[in-house]
Structure 1
Amino acid sequence: MKKKKLTGYVLAISVLMLSVLFMGASCSASTANISNPVMTTGIDDNYQPVDDLTEFPVNSIVYVVADMKNAPEDTQITFVWYIENEVIDSVTISNEDVSDAPVFSYLPAELTTVPGNYSVEIYIDDREDPDTVTEFVIQ
């Protein structure tokens, strides 16, 4: 009889521990996402792209604008800029307490002096895979 009670308690505690573990795992996963990236020569007063390009002249400032949705407070957004698959710049910003808004970054003109294939990846927090990857050309 005591063995059945002990087994019942162990089973109940195990179920409770698993429940807490799964609840914690699901609560820590961010629902934030980045979509609709646009490469542009600038942004307007509403943080929207002024144009949508894939080719830029050498020595231009190149912007990327994207939509951020469902971001919890203090979400980190990282932009990693590449030329020919080599990192040339990285910028991390925080959304503070804004959940849904455009986000942007730019590559300064001094980093676009070499013609070639460029790209920018946008990451949420410490995700290993980027939410978006956008390619463009400097010529």
Structure 2
Amino acid sequence: MSHQSVDTSGVTATRTVVAVVLERHGKIALFRRSQKLDHDRGVWHCITGFVELDTSPEHQAAQELFEETGLALADLLSLHQGPLLEFTDHLGDLWQIHTFTAEASTLLLTINWEHDAYRWISPSDVPRMTCRVSWLERVLEATGHRRD
């Protein structure tokens, strides 16, 4: 079997993810990434996950919510899809972010190993959190949770 070298410079890879903002009584839940992860350790963000092959963004959002918070669809008052966001990171990779808002029926969550803490906060307090992922503001704005 021969291998041909292909020049991929200038070609962007596409990363497709879901970003779910969990809300309850006007507050949103932010999650601090565990030190066990390879990236974004110790930073605050919403629920996220890569969209797996042959899986719809809606299904992936529900799966990530269950895995990362213990909330099943039956524990949600609603789950709504928001706009699709796209941006290019510092490596030139294109990211497609399927945004969602989920309304929880409870404030009590069971986080998995991906997080070491969670906090319910007012969306207006997000800018005060200095250690957060850079794209969080864009997701909150797209889902209607950004308040100046």
TM over 0.5: no
TM-score band by shorter chain is under 0.3
The higher radius of gyration belongs to 1
TM-score normalised to structure 1 length: 0.26
Q: Which protein has the bigger strand share?
A: 1
TM-score normalised to structure 2 length: 0.25
